[in-house]
């Protein structure tokens, strides 16, 4: 047992200038059951010895001082252990399950901004859950150091944790009975193209039309007009804040500065360079992704499946690990245009192009008036149900809501079958279905459940050729499985 107390020991000649990425800090969680990369810099040609519970690994720094090695897989342990690096010491190290959470504002949104913060806070004495929040910004080149520190979950700290990542990790911890490490690397208002490496995007034939479109859109941006509009919005917001304070009402959200937003997202790959590259190749079980809002404009939305697929492939390639990957489908929200439902469809289709992947459907828990819905408990729970069932092979009621499988037209109606449809049911009237004939005109349809199929027809369409469900920005979710998870919108 004594040997376990020295979890990780790196020894160097006294003269070696050893540095490690920021992710190696007190309270860190190392991934169990996988080889564990350890890397950093030292003096050129310095020898680095890594020891753990009987293991002893040696690496030699190259001429630039870079070194790396892999420890053999570790056994999960909630016993605090020590990581010694020369004359430095990293304390309170656990071994368990590590997940990366990334995306834009709905991943960045903190627990203190989510529903029932006081209740969550009161039950947050969970020292085996830790979070590392990556604090760097966008960068023109891939960075190695990063910024941040691991924080132990407690009533005093949980408010600053990513809400989606925390509720996901809390569910995993409760079910797996093992330490959980969560890495939050997210920035509000940022598009997916900021999070994929520049090299991967430049090599993508599928995205060449996207780059051409974005170049045209970028040329339309008028900085002076954007600044003037923002100043008017801030002036109105200032008045609204004063009124809300006087009336004892919640304060309105400050308008987003369009110029600052363009700067913080960087060019294509800027956030990958600044906030993902420093984490590679830290051992993780998987990644969860909550983004898509910034890619919902009509001009961007059609490319999202390619981008999401490329992001997963790019990250996995660079980590040299086919880790699990799941995302949150956009919830119900009032947004004009076709882009919002189209991004949802692109996310649904990505399940077929990204292996070892899953999707949390949130059509019933959004806020029609707020792009930042406060119910992150169910978001995290649904992501965790997928992980528990698909990744950890646990017996769960369902890993996601119903997903369209087949749509067969016959006898003037559509017969629909679904995956994950056990206990298929309607909540309220089964609405939201439409069919179209050869003319392509969509008509409201009647739908009924028969066992685990749905029969759809419309008197106005004698020979339906197409069918869709919940194809709106802010539809009412009516179709669920027995686990209470909503069906994904679709069109066939």
Percent of the chain's residues with pLDDT above 70: 92
What top-level class would CATH report for the domain 17-205+267-400? alpha beta
Tens digit of each residue's pLDDT (9 = 90 or more) over 117-155: 999 999 999 999 999 999 999 999 999 999 999 999 999
User: Cα separations (Å) of 347 from 80, 450, 465?
Assistant: 40, 27, 24
Pick one of 1.25.40, 1.10.20, 2.30.29, 2.60.40 as the CATH number of 403-491.
2.60.40
Displacement of CA 119 from its chain's centroid (Å): 24
Of 283, 291, 298, the C-alpha closest to 196 is 291
**Bridge partners, residue 103, by sequence:** 186, 290
Q: Rounded CA gap, 130 and 98, in Å?
A: 9
Confidence (pLDDT) at 5: 40
pTM of the model: 0.90
Q: Rounded CA gap, 308 and 103, in Å?
A: 11
Place of tokens 């206990």: 423
Q: Please check whether residue 182 is in contact with residue 166, taking contact to mean a CB–CB distance below 8 angstroms.
A: yes
**Bridge partners, residue 60, by sequence:** 47
Say what angle helices 339-350 and 304-319 make with each other, to 10 degrees.
Answer: 40
Report the chain's terminal Cα–Cα distance, integer Å.
59
Where along the chain do its domains lie?
17-205+267-400, 403-491
Confidence (pLDDT) at 2: 43
Q: Rounded CA gap, 140 and 120, in Å?
A: 39
Which residues of the chain fall below pLDDT 50?
A: 1-16
Which helix (DSSP H) or strand (DSSP E) does residue 415 occupy?
strand 413-419
DSSP letters spanning 1-62: -GGGGEEEEEE--TT---B--TTS-TT-EEESSS-EEEEEE-STT-EEEEEETTEEEEEE--
Confidence (pLDDT) at 216: 67
Of 3, 91, 20, 11, the C-alpha closest to 55 is 3
Handedness of CA 303, 306, 309, 315 (dihedral sign): negative
Confidence (pLDDT) at 235: 86
Does the bond joining 287 to the residue before it have cis omega, within 30 degrees of 0?
no
Which structure tokens are listed for 93?
């190290």
């Amino acid at each position: 047992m004594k040997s376990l107390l020295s979890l990780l020991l790196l020894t160097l000649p006294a003269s070696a200038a050893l540095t490690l990425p920021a992710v190696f800090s007190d309270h860190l969680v190392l991934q169990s059951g996988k080889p564990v990369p350890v890397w950093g810099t030292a003096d050129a040609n310095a020898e680095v010895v890594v020891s753990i519970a009987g293991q002893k690994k040696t690496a030699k720094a190259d001429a630039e001082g870079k070194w790396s090695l892999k420890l053999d897989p570790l056994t999960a342990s909630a016993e605090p252990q020590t990581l010694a690096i020369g004359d430095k010491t990293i304390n309170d190290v656990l071994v368990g399950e590590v997940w990366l959470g990334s995306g834009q504002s709905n991943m960045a949104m903190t627990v203190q901004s989510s529903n029932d913060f006081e209740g969550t806070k009161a039950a947050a004495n969970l020292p085996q859950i830790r979070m590392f929040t990556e604090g760097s910004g966008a960068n023109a080149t891939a960075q190695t150091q990063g910024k941040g520190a691991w924080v132990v979950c407690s009533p005093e700290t949980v408010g600053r944790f990513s809400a989606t990542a925390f509720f996901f990790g809390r569910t995993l911890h409760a079910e797996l009975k093992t330490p959980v490490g969560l890495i939050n690397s997210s920035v509000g208002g940022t598009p997916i193209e900021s999070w994929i490496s520049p090299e991967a995007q430049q090599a993508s034939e599928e995205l060449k039309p996207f780059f051409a479109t974005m170049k045209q859109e970028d040329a339309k941006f008028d900085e002076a007009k954007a600044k003037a509009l923002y100043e008017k919005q801030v002036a109105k917001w200032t008045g609204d804040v004063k009124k809300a304070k006087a009336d004892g009402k919640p304060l309105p959200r400050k308008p987003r500065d369009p110029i600052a937003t363009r700067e913080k997202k960087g060019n294509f790959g800027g956030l990958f360079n600044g906030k993902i590259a420093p984490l590679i190749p830290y051992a993780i079980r998987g990644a969860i992704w909550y983004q898509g809002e910034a890619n919902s404009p009509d001009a961007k939305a059609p490319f999202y499946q390619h981008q999401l697929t490329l992001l997963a492939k790019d990250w996995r390639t660079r980590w040299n690990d086919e880790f699990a990957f799941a995302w949150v489908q956009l919830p119900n929200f009032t947004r004009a245009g076709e882009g919002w439902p189209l991004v949802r469809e692109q996310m649904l289709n990505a399940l077929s192009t990204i292996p070892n992947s899953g999707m949390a459907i949130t059509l019933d828990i959004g806020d029609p008036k707020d792009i930042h819905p406060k119910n992150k408990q169910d978001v995290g729970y649904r992501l965790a149900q997928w992980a528990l069932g698909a990744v950890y092979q646990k017996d769960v009621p369902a890993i996601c809501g119903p997903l369209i499988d087949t749509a067969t037209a016959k006898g003037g109606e559509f017969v629909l079958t679904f995956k994950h449809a056990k206990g298929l049911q309607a909540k309220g009237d089964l609405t939201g279905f439409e069919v179209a004939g050869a003319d392509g005109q969509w008509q409201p349809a009647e739908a009924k459940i028969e066992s685990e199929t749905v029969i759809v027809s419309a008197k106005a369409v004698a020979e339906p050729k197409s069918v869709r469900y919940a194809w709106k920005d802010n539809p009412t979710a009516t179709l669920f499985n027995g686990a209470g998870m909503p069906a994904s919108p679709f069109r066939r």
